[in-house]
């Protein structure tokens, strides 16, 4: 029987591919939830659904614009993130993950985060109008700027985290491999009855991957100046630095801002500090890539 720590370790991805706040807080709590519910017939997709419901509930609570609503929304958003961490851990421990589950997990993140950002904006607008909350400008302007910033941070951190994972696998994986695996899964499902939802989700995801592939082929570098493969230029330290502006870090700042009823805590981090950090990392990454090309 493996030790508790060994089980926890086996439920994780590469530690360097994890956000520090996940390793220190969300993942341990998620592991406790997974251990407590392991005997139950819970599937990763069902836990993903619970995470989405908690995220939507967080957005509804935040939209009230009251101190109680902000605190309730913060607790529910934290619960949503813990459950979001749990689905993958359940899949790894029970070995019952599916390819569709990877798509569902991404969709859950979009829905939950979208609900929270929308609810927080509505709540701030109500708090400004009814409770005298002071903000430097219209809350919708702040939230739109924060939403755009968060998307950029998430795309960038995911890009370099995946690059690091490919580096660890010695260049394995990538969009070509993803396209091949999901195409095979769709062909397998089409040969069987049922699985209508899985077939639709995978078909849509394959179209998305196809668009990504066409973009890459259009922007392909010339033979004279080939681009440095990104999996060769991302070190463990760089992966850790990029993870400092990952999704769970943004979740934590929203939770802190909501609990303290101080939305500017989140905006100062998201629009200010995190953007400065991202630009600095891009400069470092460019320097490392150019050095590697020499």
* C-beta separation of 108 from 49 below 8 A: yes
Token pair 């809350």 is found at 139
The dihedral through the CA atoms of 88, 39, 112, 147 has a sign that is negative
Q: Note if the pTM is more than 0.85.
A: no
Q: State the Cα–Cα distance between residues 193 and 197, nearest whole angstrom.
A: 12
Residue 28: predicted pLDDT: 92
Residue 107: predicted pLDDT: 85
Q: How many CB atoms lie within 10 A of CB 57?
A: 21
Residue 9: predicted pLDDT: 75
Spell 109-122 as b/e; 16+ CB within 10 A means b.
Answer: bebbbebbbbbbbb
Q: State the Cα–Cα distance between residues 22 and 6, nearest whole angstrom.
A: 17
Q: Could you tell me the maximum CA-CA distance found in the chain, to the nearest angstrom?
A: 63
Burial of 16 (0-12, 13-18, 19+ CB in 10 A): middle
Residue 217: predicted pLDDT: 55
Q: How confident is the prediction along the chain (294 residues), in pLDDT tens digits per residue? A: 567 777 777 777 777 888 999 999 999 999 999 989 888 888 888 999 999 999 999 999 999 999 999 999 999 999 999 999 998 888 877 776 666 767 777 788 899 999 999 999 999 999 999 988 999 999 999 999 999 999 999 989 988 887 787 776 655 555 566 677 778 777 877 787 777 777 777 787 777 667 656 645 554 444 444 444 444 467 888 889 999 999 999 999 999 999 999 999 999 999 999 999 999 999 987 876 666 555
Residue 170: predicted pLDDT: 58
- Dig out the tokens for 101 from the structure: 């589950």
Q: State the Cα–Cα distance between residues 286 and 278, nearest whole angstrom.
A: 12
Burial of 156 (0-12, 13-18, 19+ CB in 10 A): middle
Q: What is the CA 117 to chain-centroid distance, rounded? A: 15
Residue 219: predicted pLDDT: 47
Residue ranges per structural domain of the chain = 18-171+229-293, 172-217
* C-beta separation of 62 from 33 below 8 A: no
Token pair 């997709």 is found at 45
User: CATH number for the 18-171+229-293 domain, one of 3.40.50.2000, 1.20.120.1760, 1.20.1740.10, 1.10.287.3510?
Assistant: 1.20.120.1760
């Amino acid at each position: 029987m493996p030790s508790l720590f060994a089980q926890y370790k086996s439920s994780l991805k590469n530690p360097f591919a994890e956000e520090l706040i996940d390793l220190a807080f969300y993942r341990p709590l998620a592991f406790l939830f997974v251990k407590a519910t392991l005997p139950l017939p819970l599937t990763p997709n069902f836990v993903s659904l619970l995470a989405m419901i908690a995220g939507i509930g967080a957005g509804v609570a935040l939209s009230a614009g009251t101190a109680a609503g902000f605190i309730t929304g913060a607790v529910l958003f934290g619960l949503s993130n813990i459950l979001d961490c749990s689905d993958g851990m359940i899949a790894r421990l029970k070995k019952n993950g599916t390819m569709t589950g990877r798509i569902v997990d991404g969709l859950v993140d979009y829905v939950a985060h979208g609900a929270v950002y929308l609810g927080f904006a509505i709540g701030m607008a109500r708090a400004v109008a009814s409770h005298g909350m002071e903000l430097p400008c219209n809350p919708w302007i702040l939230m739109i700027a924060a939403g755009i910033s968060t998307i950029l941070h998430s795309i960038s951190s995911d890009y370099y985290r995946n690059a690091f994972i490919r580096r660890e696998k010695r260049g394995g994986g990538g969009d070509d491999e993803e396209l091949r695996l999901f195409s095979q899964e769709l062909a397998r499902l089409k040969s069987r009855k049922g699985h209508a939802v899985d077939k639709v989700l995978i078909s849509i995801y394959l179209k998305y991957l196809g668009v990504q592939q066409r973009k890459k082929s259009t922007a392909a570098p010339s033979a004279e100046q080939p681009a440095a493969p990104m999996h060769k230029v991302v070190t463990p330290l760089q992966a850790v630095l990029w993870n400092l502006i990952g999704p769970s870090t943004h979740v934590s700042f929203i939770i802190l801002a909501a609990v303290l009823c101080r939305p500017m805590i989140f905006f100062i981090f998201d629009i200010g500090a995190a953007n400065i950090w991202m630009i600095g990392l891009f400069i470092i990454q460019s320097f490392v890539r150019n050095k590697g090309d020499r």
